[in-house]
Amino acid sequence: MDKPVIVFAANRGYALTNSRESLIRRFLDQGWRVVVATADDQESASLVSLGAVLEKVVFNRGGLSPGADWRAYRRLLAIYRRWRPRLIQHFHAKPVILGTLAARQALGDSVGISNAITGLGHAFITGGVGARLAVLGYAASMPRGDVAIFQNRDDRQLFLDRGWVSNDQARLIASSGVDLERFSVVNRADRKERAPVIVMLGRLLKQKGIPEFVEVARRIRQRWPKARFLLAGEEDLIHPDAVSADWVRDQDGVEYLGRLSDVGPLLAQADLLLFPSYREGTPRVVLEAAATGLPTVGFDVPGVREAVRDGETGFLVRDRDLDALTERVSTLLEDKTQRLAMGKAARRMVKADFDVRAIERQYLGGYRELGLEVRGAISPWLS
């Protein structure tokens, strides 16, 4: 093939369009052939319209499925043998584990492998057989990669402590970045007094804190009966940790909006983001909210503590402490001055540390270290 090839592998197209499209465009503009190994969905189709090539792979998300995982592994083997890429960028647990093993079997050391750990998710939260299998998968695959990108310090340290990666492999690139032009500042200071609006965005999973959001809504509405709690996110019933949309709709005081193609209007009407997730990579929704000048209240857990500076851009409380979570939400609903000040600080934080263009240049810097000729790169290391 006359063009160099790069493969992006992820659970589904949304993960690539929502946070990696600019990176994909960069490679296309520089004359690379871009292959996306992911689900055949609307989002991956949009990448094809840009010039990428779709190779369909079905990854079973959220748990062990020996048959589906074997089929995904064999599919990746075939893709890598067909395209013989110079670089493969994996996102998410199954693509990282299965893809790294498949790439080394198919291509040996002739391909550069970059693995992005975007969060440790269900297996590490619930423990049990799933966690043990994830441990075996990471132990077998991560040493075979060239670069391991982490979105938060906790995950990076965990992998280092367990010997799954070396210091030479590990890089910290906090988050996938935020487009500051798309998420501009919202003027909430001149907003007329009205019932407060508290929002949450996330897939309908227990680990995302859906039950906690519902419970805080119930408690807050005892004092502010007209307070609105708006929840947006897609149902994911194949996931072992799923919460059904019907259950959410049955909860008093919570308005379920489904999956939104554009979260901007929802963030614009919000006064506060409540994000009680149990663990994250670095939650993009918190950074997008911050970019509009919105403070966040959440648990002090890996990933979330990267996106919220306690007492400055919002509040963090002890994991699963619903009393403290409710108290902090109440504090910000009562004190508009503090709420607005935290929102301004949140915007400054995103502008300084999470601009998507800077994040993209760090990824390119990591690729350059692997010997790829790419323009626009800067050092991938963050302290």
CA–CA separation, 44 and 12 (whole Å): 8
Q: Which residues pair with 89 in a beta bridge?
A: 8, 114
Element (H, E) at 54: strand 53-56
CA–CA separation, 107 and 161 (whole Å): 29
Cα separation values, 166 from 100, 115, 143, 171, 195, Å: 16, 13, 8, 10, 51
Cβ-defined contacts of 219-224 (< 8 Å, 24+): 219/322, 219/326, 220/326, 220/329, 220/330, 220/333, 221/253, 223/330, 224/195, 224/196, 224/333
CA–CA separation, 38 and 208 (whole Å): 23
CB 122 within 8 A of CB 241: yes
CA–CA separation, 119 and 243 (whole Å): 20
Residue 378, amino acid: I
Q: What is the pLDDT along the chain (383 residues), one digit of tens a residue?
A: 589 999 999 998 888 987 788 889 989 999 999 999 999 988 999 999 999 999 999 988 666 677 889 999 999 999 999 999 999 999 999 999 999 999 999 999 999 999 999 888 656 666 677 678 888 999 999 999 999 999 999 999 999 999 999 999 999 998 888 989 899 999 999 888 889 999 999 999 999 999 999 999 999 999 999 999 999 999 988 888 899 999 999 999 999 999 998 999 999 999 999 999 999 989 999 999 999 999 999 999 999 999 999 999 999 999 999 999 999 999 999 999 999 999 999 999 999 999 988 898 889 888 888 888 776 555 554 43
